[in-house]
Amino acid sequence: MPTSTASQRRAVAKAEYDAFLVACPSRQLLERISDKWVALVLAALGGDGPRPGAASGDEPRPMRFSELSRRISGVSQKMLTQTLRSLERDGMVTRTVTPTVPVTVTYELTGLGRSLQGVMRGIKEWAEGHMEEVLTHRDDYDHRQSDAAD
Amino acid sequence: MPTSTASQRRAVAKAEYDAFLVACPSRQLLERISDKWVALVLAALGGDGPRPGAASGDEPRPMRFSELSRRISGVSQKMLTQTLRSLERDGMVTRTVTPTVPVTVTYELTGLGRSLQGVMRGIKEWAEGHMEEVLTHRDDYDHRQSDAAD
DNA sequence: CAGGATCCAGTAGGATACTG
DNA sequence: CAGTATCCTACTGGATCCTG
């Protein structure tokens, strides 16, 4: 029996970083990306549409600051700027300044950003797709709570 | 031409809930689940292993409170309790009390929880798997910042 | 063991005002 | 337009103490 299969080696490589550990850098990274604004910005830049190739959804494309701001309703400019800076620093979006007047700034997903968006999209879609079910469970739970209080 | 294809109808059904809108309930749900503790609790209960059927990872199984607490290093009992309650209320985990002495409480993923875990696992693994790359980008970015300050 | 209840510091994040 | 800077509040979340 082989002492090391491909999947085992991959498992070991992954085990270098373990988000279960407080001290592991990946824990902080997990914390950073587990953020609704990150999910929404990536979804916006990623086109939020179906998988690449489909015709109905919007395509991934560079977006301007104001455009993002409008798409993600309720986001403050502070949070949008902060999120974009963080994503830029981590190599997930590029920021392009065109010296028109007034200046034009566009943001676009990098390869790394697209890979993250692939998984983050799932979160947003899960939330949208399971809203009813969650709501039902909440009603049940809250009922049981008040019933128990007699 | 058909006025409504299957994928179009599905798109409409999804559009009922749109997390891009502040007022949409799915926005709050997205906010709830975009949380590192949620990601880690689901990963722990889900076995964190490879896809179901694989042999190397741990299997999804009920876990006790203290066990979860140990697995997710750095979590306070407050946050763990709070996260578990929230997941229970939303129908993603079940809480089972066995009246031993002292009492034994186990948590287990529901079907809904497993479906969410399927997407949340991606986040944790992405963080672990792209840590190096992100770190490199950060160095570059921080360098450019100090270079620009001359 | 598995929490509930409190207290309290730190920070996330909104509102507002100003700038190139 | 695309931010930066500042102020300020509210909530997150840790620490601690207590209970069935």
At B27-39, the pLDDT tens digits run 999 999 999 999 9
The whole-angstrom separation of Cα B23 and Cα B85 is 24
Decide: B124 and A19 in contact? Cβ < 8 Å: yes
Partners of residue B80 in chain A, C-beta under 8 Å = none
Cross-chain residue pair B88–A48, CB shorter than 8 Å: no
H or E segment and range at residue A105 = strand A104-109
* pLDDT at res. B119: 92
Give just the sign of the alpha carbon dihedral B24, A40, B132, B137.
negative
* pLDDT at res. B51: 55
A32, B35, B78, B92, B96 from B85: Cα distances, Å: 23, 14, 11, 10, 12
Facing B20 at nearest CB: one of A22, A72, A118: A72
pLDDT tens for each residue of B133-145: 999 999 999 988 8
Nearest nucleotide to B74, CA against C1' atoms: D14
Decide: A50 and A118 in contact? Cβ < 8 Å: no
Nearest nucleotide to B104, CA against C1' atoms: C1
Output the distance from A123 CA to C11 C1' rounded to whole Å: 25
Cross-chain residue pair B134–A22, CB shorter than 8 Å: no
Facing A19 at nearest CB: one of B19, B116, B128: B128
pLDDT tens for each residue of A101-116: 999 999 999 999 999 9
Q: Is the pTM of this model over 0.95?
A: no
Higher pLDDT, B148 or B22: B22
CB-based burial label for B92 (10 Å; 0-12, 13-18, 19+): buried
Answer yes or no: is pLDDT of A55 > 90. Answer: no
Output the distance from B136 CA to D18 C1' rounded to whole Å: 48
